[in-house]
Amino acid sequence: MAKTKVYKNWSLHEDENKILWVALNVANEEVNVLNFAVLQELETIVADIKANPNNTSGVVFISDKAPDFIVGADVKEIAAVNDVNDAVSHMRKTQTLFSQIEALPIPVVAAINGFCLGGGTELALACHYRLASDEKHTQIGLPEVKIGIHPGFGGSVRAIRLLGVFQGIGLVLEGRNVDALQAKKLGLVDDVMPLRELRRAAVYYIQHKPKVKKNSWMNKVTEIPFVRNLLGALFKKKLATKVKSEQYPAPYALIDNWVNVGTLEEKAFAAEAESVGTLLSTPTCRNLLRVFFLQGKLKATGKEADFKVRHIHIVGAGVMGGDIAAWCAVHGLRVTLQDPSLQALGSAVSRTYELAKKRLKKKHLIQAAVDRLCPDPSGDGIAHAELILEAAVENLALKHEIFKQIDARARPDAIFATNTSSLRLADIASVLTQPQRLVGIHFFNPVAYMPLVEVVKGKHTDKTTIAYAAAFVKQIKKLPLPVEDAPGFLVNQIIGGYFAEGFKALAAGESIQVIDAAGHCLGLPMGPLELADQVGLDVCLAVSKNLIGDDAKTAQAVLQGKVDKGELGRKTQKGFYNYVKGKRVRAKTALDPEKLTVLERQFFLGMLNRALLCLDEAVVNSVDLVDAGVVFGAGFPPFQGGILQYARTMDKQNLAKELACYRSMNVQAVEATSAWKLLW
């Protein structure tokens, strides 16, 4: 006879085959997280199973909170832990619990559907078998490095034991998620099947007890101490090409753990726990946790709006318009793309195919995405779309012409949007009969890699339009940042300070290589001139007049000279750099450390000054939103927590003097007194 027992977060159901189904549905949470209360209840459940193993033929861990399995530990609780000893104690206690699950004398299955991340994957690794549904939302991974730590519930040890050091340590170091089929290929799960077959497969594994994968001879060889030392050095060398140990210590700590103690003995778990406890107190971890919560704050924007776009019409098939169209098509929207150039439309279709290949993998899904993009030279899609987005060049007269046509042809409930980088919405909206329908939806280049989209409120934009625009941004898996209408909005205004200092240095005779190297020293993914080439020098020229101002006449002259020669950057294979098949030709140049330090500081002050001005002028309403903007929209190094968070780590008086000196030499720099108070 079937039996059921219910806890606050777990429910137990024993079926007629004496299989115990242990289902998680965390109370008062949108997703399943392994918080302290959940783990405490699990301790009781496991103790009961251990006490009566003959009463149960097997255990299956499942989720009762669709569509996810377990998304990890509770990050809020992790962030609240300030004592290293407390952190280590919690890790060790959870490791012991998971080891008890692993040691159960009956088969234990993790039946995974949806996101299985961090602590969820660590629990699954402690089970004897892992089965996954082939649903597209099933993702499995150990992403802890993204918040400045590594797995602490035994996950790094078990991943390396199961997958071998090359696959296992790689999975943890990269912090990447894999889908069900990739997980099967890696050996992370035992089998993959349709969701409707998941429970039946779990029963089969419990009743037939297939052989559990054993450690291969290769795994045993790589556990020999001198082999670990050699491989550890190679892992670190490769890692150093991506991140520095002083900026991101967690992946280096993980390698050290493996080199020092391996994974075969109990001391490996102790080393893992102690390492996580230490990492939790580092500035990198604290800042990455801050960035994690900032991301959550952006994800919550527009949450209340009941609005979904089925059809978007985009005007302009250039680099930005074409890439936005591709992104929307890959994310399930019907897209009509308008442009007088058939060549531009053809290029956009090709880019959609390439993006779909990378993102969707399966042939039928790729073809479906391409089919959703419809070239529309005459703009017939305007009359049918819920959202119409203009992505033409930064020319007010042209935008006026486009919006007059949109206004005359659009359905009465359609949202009007512009992807302008620098023009004021109030100026664009002046030709509309209902200016309240216009909102800025500003993407960043390259669209496929930049997660942030600014949602810009114009002088007349109503609240519903803003909420709907934010909901659309979330629908296509981007992060909406609400900003007020101002030249350059938030991110481009701050990046304008970066460009201004880069162009000043160029005008003063500094080499392109030194200028861009100084940007990398600050932790930014691109130097200012690299970034200008990526954006397009014609776009930079148009935008710079609004963003950089009177103190950048020389920079504008340089840009004008490049544009006149047709050297527009990466898209024409020549700009500040030369490109071959889209790849930059790199020249080796000796770099003076002193020059780099001076330039790096100038870049920081230029960006900080603009950030404070944006805050002072209420372009956004909080320090958090400024930092979210620069991290997710400008690539400011996450390990610093944002530009204003970085400034907070400095001596207040010295920084004030530096800023005063910087402002005295810059026409555009104005003291932002209110923002300074908010910062400190």
- Cβ neighbours, 10 Å, residue 323: 21
Residue from 144, 223, 484, 600 carrying the catalytic annotation: 144
The pLDDT tens digits of the residues spanning 578-633 come to: 999 878 888 777 888 999 999 999 999 999 999 999 998 999 999 999 999 999 99
DSSP track, 12-58? EEE-TT-EEEEEE--TT-SS--B-HHHHHHHHHHHHHHHH-GGG-SE
Q: CB-based contacts of 526: which residues, under 8 Å, 6+ apart?
A: 516, 519, 534, 635
Q: Are 491 and 636 in contact (CB under 8 A)?
A: no
Q: Is 144 a catalytic residue?
A: yes
- Cβ neighbours, 10 Å, residue 167: 16
Q: CB-based contacts of 381: which residues, under 8 Å, 6+ apart?
A: 311, 313, 336, 338, 374
Give me the residues paired with residue 439 across strands. 417
The pLDDT tens digits of the residues spanning 130-164 come to: 999 999 899 999 999 999 999 999 999 999 999 99
The pLDDT tens digits of the residues spanning 464-479 come to: 999 999 999 999 999 9
Is the model's pLDDT at 287 over the cut of 80?
yes
Is the model's pLDDT at 669 over the cut of 60?
no
Residue from 122, 394, 484, 600 carrying the catalytic annotation: 122
The predicted pLDDT at position 189 comes to 97
The pLDDT tens digits of the residues spanning 549-578 come to: 555 576 787 888 899 999 999 889 999 999
Written as six digits, the tokens of 325 are: 């169209």
Cα separation of 25 and 12, whole Å? 11
Whether the upstream peptide bond of residue 107 has omega within 30° of 0, thus cis, is: no
The predicted pLDDT at position 1 comes to 40
Domains of the chain: 3-281 (3.90.226.10), 311-486 (3.40.50.720), 492-618+650-679 (1.10.1040.50)
Gyration radius (Cα) of the chain, Å: 27
3-state SS of 466-525 is HHHHHHHHHHCCCEEEEEECCCCCCHHHHHHHHHHHHHHHHHCCCCHHHHHHHHHHCCCC
Backbone dihedral angles phi then psi of residue 139, each to the nearest 5 degrees: -135, 135
Q: What is the mean pLDDT of the chain?
A: 93
Give me the residues paired with residue 335 across strands. 312, 373
β pairing state of 10-14 and 19-24: antiparallel
Cα separation of 6 and 442, whole Å? 48
Q: What is the pTM of this model?
A: 0.92
Mean pLDDT of the 69-75 span: 96
Instruction: State the chain's maximal CA–CA distance in angstroms.
Output: 85
Q: Is 530 a catalytic residue?
A: no
| Torsion sign, CA atoms 639, 238, 355, 114 | negative
The pLDDT tens digits of the residues spanning 354-407 come to: 999 999 988 999 999 999 999 999 999 999 999 999 999 989 999 999 999 999
The pLDDT tens digits of the residues spanning 419-441 come to: 998 899 999 999 999 999 999 99
Residues 231-244 as b/e (b if ≥16 CB within 10 A, e otherwise) read: bbeebeeebeeebe
The pLDDT tens digits of the residues spanning 298-345 come to: 999 988 889 999 999 999 999 999 999 999 999 999 999 999 999 999
